[in-house]
Amino acid sequence: MTRTAKPACHPVPVPERHFVKYTFLEVDPAWRRLEALQRDRDKTEFAIACADFADGHLLRAFSLVGTRGDCDLMLLSQAQNLERIHEFHVVLAQSGLMKWCSVPHSYLAMTKPSEYSDESRLQVRPAHAKYLFVYPFVKSREWYGLDADERYRIMQEHIRIGREYPSIDLNTSYSFGLDDQEFVVAFETDDPADFLDLVQRLRTTEASRYTKRDTPTFTCVAASVPRALAALDGQPVAELEALR
Amino acid sequence: MTRTAKPACHPVPVPERHFVKYTFLEVDPAWRRLEALQRDRDKTEFAIACADFADGHLLRAFSLVGTRGDCDLMLLSQAQNLERIHEFHVVLAQSGLMKWCSVPHSYLAMTKPSEYSDESRLQVRPAHAKYLFVYPFVKSREWYGLDADERYRIMQEHIRIGREYPSIDLNTSYSFGLDDQEFVVAFETDDPADFLDLVQRLRTTEASRYTKRDTPTFTCVAASVPRALAALDGQPVAELEALR
Amino acid sequence: MTRTAKPACHPVPVPERHFVKYTFLEVDPAWRRLEALQRDRDKTEFAIACADFADGHLLRAFSLVGTRGDCDLMLLSQAQNLERIHEFHVVLAQSGLMKWCSVPHSYLAMTKPSEYSDESRLQVRPAHAKYLFVYPFVKSREWYGLDADERYRIMQEHIRIGREYPSIDLNTSYSFGLDDQEFVVAFETDDPADFLDLVQRLRTTEASRYTKRDTPTFTCVAASVPRALAALDGQPVAELEALR
Amino acid sequence: MTRTAKPACHPVPVPERHFVKYTFLEVDPAWRRLEALQRDRDKTEFAIACADFADGHLLRAFSLVGTRGDCDLMLLSQAQNLERIHEFHVVLAQSGLMKWCSVPHSYLAMTKPSEYSDESRLQVRPAHAKYLFVYPFVKSREWYGLDADERYRIMQEHIRIGREYPSIDLNTSYSFGLDDQEFVVAFETDDPADFLDLVQRLRTTEASRYTKRDTPTFTCVAASVPRALAALDGQPVAELEALR
Amino acid sequence: MTRTAKPACHPVPVPERHFVKYTFLEVDPAWRRLEALQRDRDKTEFAIACADFADGHLLRAFSLVGTRGDCDLMLLSQAQNLERIHEFHVVLAQSGLMKWCSVPHSYLAMTKPSEYSDESRLQVRPAHAKYLFVYPFVKSREWYGLDADERYRIMQEHIRIGREYPSIDLNTSYSFGLDDQEFVVAFETDDPADFLDLVQRLRTTEASRYTKRDTPTFTCVAASVPRALAALDGQPVAELEALR
């Protein structure tokens, strides 16, 4: 119980850290009233911008149709360089589809080794599960007033319970100073019921008392970019059928 | 007073659990300015998407015209598979009506056996009352810091009072990790005054102290899909008259 | 000080309870840019829907032009049957004016005998004062944790001070479980200065400590329906001039 | 330190009390895309409505272009009669400009003698400084739980510090029961740096602990109505040039 | 540890204090659907307004494409005179681009010597780093209830840790009474990972307990005005290519 916590990290060269960007899009209902041909063209331009970025970077797409009311599609993009994330979104903004979209939710973060666990990853992994559950996370200031050892101790219970659900995979990224939240937490699994049970069980842990904010919570349905686009208007993208 | 609470459930196969989705729609006032023929067509497409899903799944419709200002119609859909909920909303989005709608409120949840009562259901039941009262529910973290036995004891008073109002039926579903709330609570009754009295009385229970959020609260008027659609513009859907 | 509070009421037949609905409308500025003839027609349809409902039910209209920035007109409707409130709003939605309106605030409530005073009414009264001051009201959960006797004692000071302002009339209706607030409080008077002084004075009462929310607060100018409509664009409704 | 506070005032005839209305306007960017001639006409109608009211009542205009992002122009109007404030806004709403405006912020208040100071005014004064700083103000309920004498004592420190900045002038008006806030506080000065220093210094007073809300805070640039209108699109109003 | 804090400053002539304005713009997606020629003209007018102001005043531009969802471009302008900031935004509003923009975030502040450090600047410096991290900052009222010496002591830990990250530069400006926040905090660096680590580390300081609000947090990509404009639609501004 008294193992020493790793010291909070100092600026040392960590070449492998990545920027992670979650971009949630909502399509203007008016776009759905356009001709099918125009919508096809708009989606194709969007898909091409994605394919360009995906050549050399991790890019994942998710549909939120039917799970949320305030957004329709989410793109998770990753790069070692913030400039590259910026450029990708500049190109994306030129696609026909983005000319009818707003971005109701947006989270910028970086990967970073965890103070509490050796299992943390410095890269988001390629798609490997049906669902991704994402939420921005802020801890109470009381949490940060605890000793590092005490925080370490409290987190071990949290981590131990998580390990009892091996089908659920966790990616935590860090947003301190970069965005409104402190962390972006993303769980992957094929079984939402398992995940629901885990989250309910974690409510009774000591760590849970120090949660200040963990909403909005997004249930994201993993999809290829063409499939996520097809879910917007029910039409497959003709030109991109091969990629599905 | 010391009966042991059921343990928080572990990932065991629970084949009968269902996804429950509450989708609240608001129609753009501009839609009401369209020709009657166009509106009829838009509603018919919507009704057909609903009928397709209802063939094999529970689907219920409610009108909120006159009870809320921020939404007009609510669909409650249920399936054992999240993919099916997603697909239903993809098809729905292609209907003419949805091209003029926004979704100001949306709640995704699952059924689950209760820790506190043996009466919980794993399926939402078909319509059987005139009104449904729905709200997303979040308990304070203090609640989860209590012993399971203590929570069990506190909930018994809550459940006992509920039983004094036998005309009121309760469906609780669980959203931990899937959506912003912890529970979606839905009461059904023919008598709103009774329900109002019950809720006011429950304010004085011990359990009530642990409520963090129980709004927005929706009074939903049960209706067939064609009737809920007719309430949007006062016009019955010609083609669907037979279904009313 | 130890008079027993009335018990919280049980579901007994209370035939005289009414539903009360406050509907606050905001007109799209684009409506004001339409031709005068079109606006006249739009308002006439609205006024006819109101007149239909008012034949047999209480209906009151208020203007908020110049007192609020987020709404222009408020309708207070009352019926013993919720279905009737719903139907009225369905008909209203078909009027030309409502095709350019949003409903930024909406409160559904019921009348109910007070636990604390014998003066409560089970019906909203017809217009009898120049101004109505309305706000949704939520008490803290600490309030409901007090003994009924203690709550009764605390309310007596509140009621006593109110009686010192006989020109001010109070209507409290109940929303537990039906809508986001617990109560809708409505004061009527011809003298806003008096009312302001009363509210400021009530801030120092013991009861005031248990207020969780009492906003938004609306200053509503009593008007006939035609006058409230005329205030929207400065034009009297030709056909309804006789009703003013 | 034990001077008795004035008793909270009772409904006595206070003929000189005035209604004060702060109306903050935001112009739809689409208005800026109209022809110059149309914009000129729209602004002229607005200016005429203002001139009519200003004949016999206090009316002041302010520009918020460059100081806020959510509004462009503020009108402060004053009358002894609420009906007159209502009528002014009805007439204003008919001007071409208002057909492209929303009202993101609106505060209704009344003047009233202060419990704590003899210097309070029952009328807003004509323009006499370059800048007006306005915010709605709500005190915590703990404040109102203090003895009147204790509140009086605490306010004296606050007032004393204010007097050290004689170039800054204060107008407090009262909104209890009329609007969402308790007070509307308005400071006038030619020197924003002085005012900033005063507000920062007041943060350390005892009175400051009882502040519940003091935002949004508006920096308003005093202007004639024609100048405030010219700031909307950079074009002087031809017909009203003489009034500048 | 007991060095005396500088007294909170009194109105003394501080000729070098400047107004600092952060204006965050969001472009209506409909603008992206206009012809390239029109967009080029709209951006050119915007750039010319910026160039005019920049002749004699500090003006810096940043892109938020890809880092935020609620805004696209930020202008930081500085002047000794508030009237000049106002005039700049009046001229800017006349540019074609602003006729399609809203301003979702806006912060007005002034420079001021710090109570706690001798290193504070009275002017924002010209661009010298790749990224600017900006947030509005409000401290809890408990902070202001501490003795000045105690506040001084607490801030020294905060400042000492900041100095361990010499590649990160801090600009704090003051908004008391001028805008909704108390401070606008802006950090500059080429290395976001360093900055993230610093902010995370500062969470454990004593000073951090007194933070009431430090969001929204903006990651701003430094750019020339033409480059920030080009990021809006992916098109360089023809006429301004030379300035890049």
pLDDT tens digits for range C53-92: 999 999 999 999 999 999 999 999 999 999 999 999 999 9
Put simply, whether C169 touches D (Cβ < 8 Å) is no
Chains contacting B with at least 3 CB pairs below 8 Å?
A, C
Which residues in chain A are closer than 8 Å to E196, comparing Cβ atoms?
110, 112, 174-178
Q: At what angle do helices B148-163 and B192-202 cross, to 10 degrees?
A: 150
B29, B178 Cβ separation under 8 angstroms? no
Confidence at residue A10, expressed as pLDDT on a 0 to 100 scale: 46
Put simply, whether E98 touches A (Cβ < 8 Å) is no
D23, D101 Cβ separation under 8 angstroms? no
Q: Pick the closest to residue C168 from C186, C142, C143 (CA basis).
A: C186
Residue A116's pLDDT band (boundaries 50, 70, 90)? confident
Indicate the Cα dihedral angle A81, A82, A83, A88, nearest 10°.
Answer: 100
CA-based nearest residue in chain D for residue C223: D83
CA C94 to the chain's CA centroid: 23
Measured CA to CA, the distance from residue A235 to residue A40 in angstroms comes to 8
Measured CA to CA, the distance from residue A224 to residue B6 in angstroms comes to 41
The SS3 of residue A165 is coil
Query: Is the confidence at residue C107, as pLDDT, over 70?
Result: yes
Identify which of C33, C66, C201 has the shortest CB distance to residue D21.
C66
Indicate the Cα dihedral angle B27, B29, B33, B39, nearest 10°.
Answer: 0
C156, C116 Cβ separation under 8 angstroms? yes
Which residues in chain E are closer than 8 Å to D211, comparing Cβ atoms?
141
Chains contacting E with at least 3 CB pairs below 8 Å?
A, D
Confidence at residue D210, expressed as pLDDT on a 0 to 100 scale: 98
Q: What six digits make up the tokens of E92?
A: 């800017």
Measured CA to CA, the distance from residue B237 to residue B216 in angstroms comes to 30
Mean pLDDT computed over every residue of chain C: 91
Chains contacting D with at least 3 CB pairs below 8 Å?
C, E
Mean pLDDT of A85-95: 98
E39, E235 Cβ separation under 8 angstroms? yes
Confidence at residue E91, expressed as pLDDT on a 0 to 100 scale: 98
Confidence at residue D241, expressed as pLDDT on a 0 to 100 scale: 60
Confidence at residue C116, expressed as pLDDT on a 0 to 100 scale: 85
Q: Pick the closest to residue C28 from C219, C230, C233, C235 (CA basis).
A: C233
Q: What is the largest CA-CA distance in chain A?
A: 65
Confidence at residue E3, expressed as pLDDT on a 0 to 100 scale: 43
ipTM of the complex: 0.91
Residue E16's pLDDT band (boundaries 50, 70, 90)? confident
Put simply, whether A197 touches E (Cβ < 8 Å) is no
Confidence at residue C242, expressed as pLDDT on a 0 to 100 scale: 54
Q: What six digits make up the tokens of B66?
A: 């006159």
Listed range (A12-16, D88-92, E94-98) with the worst mean pLDDT: A12-16
Q: Pick the closest to residue B109 from B162, B179, B157, B28 (CA basis).
A: B179
Contact call for D94 and C68, based on CB within 8 A:
no
Q: Tell me the pLDDT tens digit for each residue of B129-141.
A: 999 999 999 999 9
* Phi-psi region at B65: left, alpha or beta (left = phi > 0; alpha = psi -120 to 50): beta
Query: Please, which residues 42-71 of chain A have a Cβ atom closer than 8 Å to chain B?
Result: 63, 65-70
CA distance A139 to chain E (A): 10
DSSP state of C186: E
Element (H, E) at D79: strand D73-79
CA E160 to the chain's CA centroid: 23
Which residues in chain E are closer than 8 Å to D130, comparing Cβ atoms?
83
Identify which of C86, C101, C175 has the shortest CB distance to residue B29.
C101
CA distance E203 to chain D (A): 24
Q: What six digits make up the tokens of D23?
A: 């109306």
DSSP string, C35-89: -HHHHHHHHHHHHHHHHHHHTTS-EEEEE-BTTBSS-SEEEEEEES-HHHHHHHH
DSSP state of D226: H
Query: Is the confidence at residue A6, as pLDDT, over 80?
Result: no
CA-based nearest residue in chain E for residue A28: E29
Put simply, whether E149 touches D (Cβ < 8 Å) is no
CA D146 to the chain's CA centroid: 28
Contact call for C82 and B29, based on CB within 8 A:
no
Interface D:E, ≥3 CB–CB pairs < 8 Å: yes
Confidence at residue B241, expressed as pLDDT on a 0 to 100 scale: 60
> Omega into C216 within 30° of 0, i.e. cis?
yes
Query: Is the confidence at residue E2, as pLDDT, over 90?
Result: no
Q: At what angle do helices C36-54 and C82-93 cross, to 10 degrees?
A: 160
Measured CA to CA, the distance from residue B78 to residue B111 in angstroms comes to 10
Identify which of A94, A104, A177 has the shortest CB distance to residue E217.
A177
Which residues in chain B are closer than 8 Å to C141, comparing Cβ atoms?
203, 208-209, 211
Put simply, whether A81 touches E (Cβ < 8 Å) is no
Measured CA to CA, the distance from residue A35 to residue A169 in angstroms comes to 41
Work out the number of other CB atoms within 10 angstroms of the CB of residue C43: 27
Mean pLDDT of B82-86: 98
Put simply, whether A85 touches E (Cβ < 8 Å) is yes
Chains contacting C with at least 3 CB pairs below 8 Å?
B, D
CA-based nearest residue in chain B for residue A233: B94
Which residue type occupies C164?
E
Residue A15's pLDDT band (boundaries 50, 70, 90)? low
CA-based nearest residue in chain D for residue C167: D11
Residue E118's pLDDT band (boundaries 50, 70, 90)? confident
C204, D144 Cβ separation under 8 angstroms? yes
CA terminus-to-terminus distance, chain C: 50
CA distance B102 to chain C (A): 13
Measured CA to CA, the distance from residue C240 to residue C221 in angstroms comes to 20
Chains contacting A with at least 3 CB pairs below 8 Å?
B, E
Contact call for D217 and E14, based on CB within 8 A:
no
CA distance A16 to chain B (A): 30
CA distance A224 to chain B (A): 15
Confidence at residue B242, expressed as pLDDT on a 0 to 100 scale: 54
Q: What is the 3-state secondary structure (H, E, C) of chain B?
A: CCCCCCCCCCCCCCCCCCEEEEEEEEECHHHHHCCHHHHHHHHHHHHHHHHHHHCCCCEEEEECECCECCCCEEEEEEECCHHHHHHHHHHHHCCCHHHHEEEEEEEEEECCCCCCCCCCCCCCCCCCCCEEEEEEEEECHHHHHCCHHHHHHHHHHHHHHHHCCCCCEEEEEECCCCCCCCEEEEEEECCHHHHHHHHHHHCCCCHHHHEEECCCCEEEEEECHHHHHHHHHCCCCHHHHHHC
Which residues in chain B are closer than 8 Å to C102, comparing Cβ atoms?
29, 69
Q: Pick the closest to residue C110 from C125, C127, C122 (CA basis).
A: C122
Interface D:C, ≥3 CB–CB pairs < 8 Å: yes
Listed range (A140-149, B7-16, D200-209, E80-89) with the worst mean pLDDT: B7-16
Residue C120's pLDDT band (boundaries 50, 70, 90)? low
Residue A241's pLDDT band (boundaries 50, 70, 90)? low
DSSP H helices, chain D, are 36-54, 82-93, 141-145, 148-163, 192-202, 225-233
Contact call for C195 and D178, based on CB within 8 A:
yes
Measured CA to CA, the distance from residue E67 to residue E134 in angstroms comes to 12
Measured CA to CA, the distance from residue B28 to residue C93 in angstroms comes to 12
Confidence at residue E43, expressed as pLDDT on a 0 to 100 scale: 98
The SS3 of residue C140 is coil
CA distance A61 to chain B (A): 15
CA-based nearest residue in chain B for residue A235: B94
Identify which of E8, E141, E178 has the shortest CB distance to residue D211.
E141
Query: Is the confidence at residue A217, as pLDDT, over 90?
Result: yes
Contact call for E193 and A14, based on CB within 8 A:
yes
Q: What sign does the dihedral D49-D55-D59-D63 (CA atoms) show?
A: positive
Residue of A90, A107, A218 to mutate for E, most E C-beta atoms under 10 A: A90
CA-based nearest residue in chain D for residue E103: D69
Q: What six digits make up the tokens of D185?
A: 């506080």
Contact call for D208 and E17, based on CB within 8 A:
no
pTM of structure? 0.93
Measured CA to CA, the distance from residue B56 to residue B51 in angstroms comes to 10
Mean pLDDT of A119-133: 79
Contact call for D103 and C167, based on CB within 8 A:
no
Q: What phi and psi, each to the nearest 5 degrees, are found at residue B169? A: -115, 140
Confidence at residue C16, expressed as pLDDT on a 0 to 100 scale: 77
Proportion of chain E above pLDDT 90, given as a percent: 83
Residue C7 burial by Cβ neighbours in a 10 Å radius (0-12, 13-18, 19+): exposed
CA distance A12 to chain B (A): 35
DSSP state of A19: E
pLDDT beneath 70, residues of chain D:
1-15, 119-121, 126-127, 240-244
Which residue type occupies D192?
P
Put simply, whether B75 touches A (Cβ < 8 Å) is no
CA distance E21 to chain D (A): 8
Q: Tell me the pLDDT tens digit for each residue of E128-183.
A: 899 999 999 999 999 999 999 999 999 999 999 999 999 999 999 999 999 999 99
B173, B197 Cβ separation under 8 angstroms? no
Three-point CA angle D4, D8, D10, nearest 5°: 130
**Cβ pairs bridging A and E (under 8 Å):** 123
CA distance D59 to chain E (A): 22
A148, A115 Cβ separation under 8 angstroms? yes
Q: At what angle do helices E36-54 and E82-93 cross, to 10 degrees?
A: 160
Which residues in chain E are closer than 8 Å to A19, comparing Cβ atoms?
192
The SS3 of residue A8 is coil
Confidence at residue B238, expressed as pLDDT on a 0 to 100 scale: 74
CA distance C197 to chain B (A): 30
Measured CA to CA, the distance from residue C181 to residue C138 in angstroms comes to 6
A59-95 residues labelled b (16+ CB within 10 A) or e (exposed): bbbbbbbbbbbbbbbbbbbbbbebebbbbbbbbbbbb
Residue of A50, A59, A108 to mutate for E, most E C-beta atoms under 10 A: A108
Confidence at residue E120, expressed as pLDDT on a 0 to 100 scale: 63
